[in-house]
Amino acid sequence: MHLLWQGLLLGLSTGLFCLGACAPALVPALLVGQRGWRGSAAVVAQVAGGRLLAYLIFGAAVGALGTALDPGSQALRRLGGVAMLLLALVLAAHLAGLGPRVATLPVCRLLPARVFRAPWAFGFLTGLSVCPPFLLALATALGAGGPLEGALFFAAFFAGTALYLLPLVPLGALGRWEAPRLVGRIAGMLAAGLFAVLGLGQVLLA
Amino acid sequence: MSEEVATPVAKRPPSLRTPWRWTVLPVLVSVALVSFLVAAPQAQRGNPLIGVAFVALALGVTVYILRSGRVENARLLIFLSTGLLFTAVFEISNTINRGSILLSEQQLATVGAPICPVTIGFVLPPLLLNGQMIFPTTVQAALSITVMWVGFGLLLGRGWCSWMCFFGPMDQFFSRLGPTRRGGRPLVEIPERWHRQLRWLPYGLLLFLILVALVALEPIFCAWLCPLRLAYDPPAVTRTVEWLTVIVIVTLGMGLLVIGPFLTKRRLFCTYGCPLLPLNSIVGLLSPFRVKVDREKCKDCGICARVCPNSAITPATVAKGGTAMECTRCGTCMDRCPQKAIDYRLIGSNARARGAFIALAVAFSLLLLSSYVNGLEIYWQTGTMPPMGGA
């Protein structure tokens, strides 16, 4: 119980930063679709679901590894870099409407084609992107005592941070007009470029 | 019975000339504003003759524009002079106060950098939401330039970009310099269907920069992307990462400020790359002035769309009787329109506002110009110059 409470508090206290870290990917992705409030809420829910899945898997893995994994380790930073690169690819493909075409590239066959147009994929990859709140959660989950405890801790952390995703719902509803959709697409492409550069830097210089 | 021979009445060509009786008041406003502002206590450091010269210039330029009905030449004279003198003052100030026109990381950390209005859109959100100043300058400098820009934006709308902005003259100059093919067309034309998409580029860029500024608390546009750093605060190169910055800045700068405008005769940075454009356009919606097309006079010849350096007037906007909200009120379309169907009008009405707009635009642009002349005068007399924009 203490672990859940700790995760929730950590999520609530750092959630605004979480929203900020994911916003460059999420805001443009939400803007580009022609959808109303309900559709937008569904997308936000899918993104949140993808992030929860990533957190649960990661939390369980970290809980199982225990203290064997150093939060500042090279491998972890490289993993974060790879996640950022994938996020950039998925985001760019989604925004350019190239999902199916990109998915046929040899390197992308590792992932199912629908990943390139599915909001949960953003959620999953943003969940794996290493940001300061994520590292804080990771450091705590290392001492959780097992895979179940690690997963529970990350689930509570997710619940705390997910609250901050709610303000994104009205943004998605703007996508019914062409101008915000174009603006979102451009901002998203720039964000994809930034994530690609950051991810590459993290992979090469970690 | 003698037959009356009908002699053809010579039809006067259409003109936007303002009659004398409507010229007097705008001229008085322009002259009074310049006199008042040039004589303000903080501007009384220089030779009074310079102040008198600026008052005379205000008189001459306002009369010329209103009586000739032509805006472009006089505006260009003021605008390009602003760019030239601002550049001189900026570089001299940096050389004196920083030791170099180049900006090194060490100077950035210790001295800071002069704030510019282009940064307002992404510097203010973290400042207002988190209390974090992400640009290496003082909060006071950022707020004062914001207040100045909001004031001019509310008054002149995107007129700021063609009358007052000290960065705009660079792509304006090269876009004017560019050669034309037969029919007055530029060497490279930007198809309208491209423009319809590209027009949203500054909006997307600003959204991206705001999000990154809020997350990373970094002005990445200034650090990595600003093409204006080709001339203003170019980075001192000592490390690989700075070389990369220089490559990006030089490529974007040459493309958007020099070669691109030369080939397309369009102000490419001001139209597709300036992060201040969205704010200027939105604030400009509150400005009392609009550029409108008289549909009864318009023959849909398309000349206005062809000559607009900002691509802000297109056949689609002409059909609606106006311009896009990105119009910089430069007056080029009005001067070139053979029917003289385009003019400054008051918002929400069809009332002509040429006199009022020109009086204010001339007065405030000359005021800005006079401040640079003042800076050069101080340098001439004392060998010193105050640092720019809070640096």
Provide the strand spans (E) within chain B. 289-293, 342-346
The answer to whether residue B349 scores a pLDDT higher than 90 is no
Mean pLDDT, chain B, rounded, equals 88
Please list, in sequence order, all residues whose beta carbon lies within 8 angstroms of the beta carbon of residue B292, skipping any fewer than 6 positions away: B321, B322, B323, B342, B343, B345, B350
Q: Which of A17, A20, A186 sits opposite B204 (nearest CB)?
A: A186
User: Which range is least confidently modeled, A52-66, B68-82, B368-382?
Assistant: A52-66
Per-residue pLDDT at A105: 44
B residues 180-239 near A, CB within 8 Å? 197, 200-201, 203-205, 207-208, 211-212, 214-215, 220
Q: In degrees rounded to 5, what are phi and psi of residue B342?
A: -115, 135
Encode pLDDT of A21-53 as tens digits. Answer: 667 767 777 776 666 777 778 878 888 888 889
Tell me whether residues B205 and A186 touch, CB distance under 8 A.
yes
Query: Quick one: DSSP state of residue B199?
Result: T
Closest chain B residue to A26, measured at CA: B211
Cα of B233 to nearest chain A Cα, Å? 23
Residues from chain B contacting residue A182 (CB–CB below 8 Å): 197, 200, 203-204
Q: Which of B85, B79, B78 is nearest to B58 (CA)?
A: B78
User: Which range is least confidently modeled, A202-206, B7-11, B234-238, B370-374?
Assistant: B7-11
The answer to whether residue B209 scores a pLDDT higher than 80 is yes
B168 exposed, middle or buried (CB, 10 Å; 0-12, 13-18, 19+)?
A: buried
Per-residue pLDDT at B170: 95
B282 exposed, middle or buried (CB, 10 Å; 0-12, 13-18, 19+)?
A: middle
Q: Indicate which of B129, B215, B248 best probes the interface with A, i.e. most A CBs within 10 Å of its own CB.
A: B215
Measured distance CA(B389)–CA(B370) in Å, rounded: 16
Encode pLDDT of B84-110 as tens digits. Answer: 999 999 999 989 988 888 888 777 777
Per the CB < 8 A criterion, the answer to whether B320 and B276 are in contact is no
Span B202-218, average pLDDT: 85
The answer to whether residue B127 scores a pLDDT higher than 80 is yes
Span B304-327, average pLDDT: 94
Query: Quick one: DSSP state of residue B180?
Result: B
Neighbours of B133 (CB within 10 A): 17
Per the CB < 8 A criterion, the answer to whether B287 and B155 are in contact is yes
CA dihedral defined by B376, B380, B381, B387, rounded to 10 degrees? 50
For residue B248 the two structure tokens come to: 């990006």
**Which has more pLDDT, A130 or B305?**
B305
Q: Indicate which of A126, A194, A197, A198 best probes the interface with B, i.e. most B CBs within 10 Å of its own CB.
A: A194
User: Is B338 an 8 Å CB contact of chain A?
Assistant: no
Span B64-81, average pLDDT: 94
Residues from chain A contacting residue B203 (CB–CB below 8 Å): 179, 182-183, 186
Encode pLDDT of B265-296 as tens digits. Answer: 999 999 999 999 999 999 999 999 999 999 99
Tokens 């705390």 locate to A160
Q: Please state whether beta strands B289-293 and B342-346 pair in parallel, antiparallel, or not at all (unpaired).
A: antiparallel
**Domain spans of chain B?**
18-101+354-379, 103-287, 289-348
The answer to whether residue A172 scores a pLDDT higher than 90 is no
Per-residue pLDDT at B43: 57
Tell me whether residues B207 and A27 touch, CB distance under 8 A.
yes
Residues from chain B contacting residue A27 (CB–CB below 8 Å): 207, 211
Q: Which residues pair with B180 in a beta bridge?
A: B186
Measured distance CA(B232)–CA(B45) in Å, rounded: 26
Measured distance CA(B72)–CA(B22) in Å, rounded: 20
Query: Quick one: DSSP state of residue A78?
Result: H
User: Is A200 an 8 Å CB contact of chain B?
Assistant: no
For residue B59 the two structure tokens come to: 């008189």
Per-residue pLDDT at A71: 60
Q: Which of B73, B71, B37 is nearest to B55 (CA)?
A: B37
Span A158-175, average pLDDT: 76
Span A151-157, average pLDDT: 88
Closest chain B residue to A22, measured at CA: B215
Measured distance CA(B164)–CA(B212) in Å, rounded: 29
Measured distance CA(B309)–CA(B304) in Å, rounded: 10
Q: Indicate which of B205, B211, B244, B282 best probes the interface with A, i.e. most A CBs within 10 Å of its own CB.
A: B211
Q: Which residues pair with B289 in a beta bridge?
A: B346
The answer to whether residue A143 scores a pLDDT higher than 60 is yes
A67 exposed, middle or buried (CB, 10 Å; 0-12, 13-18, 19+)?
A: exposed
Neighbours of A7 (CB within 10 A): 26
Per-residue pLDDT at A108: 45
Measured distance CA(B362)–CA(B75) in Å, rounded: 8
The answer to whether residue B3 scores a pLDDT higher than 70 is no
CATH architecture, range B289-348: 2-Layer Sandwich (3.30)
Q: Which of B197, B212, B220 sits opposite A182 (nearest CB)?
A: B197
A78 exposed, middle or buried (CB, 10 Å; 0-12, 13-18, 19+)?
A: middle
pLDDT band for A102, please (50, 70, 90 cuts). Answer: very low
Tell me whether residues A27 and B211 touch, CB distance under 8 A.
yes
A residues 22-41 near B, CB within 8 Å? 23-24, 27-28
CA dihedral defined by B126, B129, B132, B134, rounded to 10 degrees? 10
Residues from chain A contacting residue B220 (CB–CB below 8 Å): 194
Residues from chain B contacting residue A17 (CB–CB below 8 Å): 215
Q: Which of A21, A24, A179 sits opposite B208 (nearest CB)?
A: A24
For residue A137 the two structure tokens come to: 């959660």
In chain B, the largest separation of any two C-alpha atoms, in whole Å, equals: 98
End-to-end distance of chain A based on CA atoms, in angstroms? 36
Tell me whether residues A28 and B207 touch, CB distance under 8 A.
yes
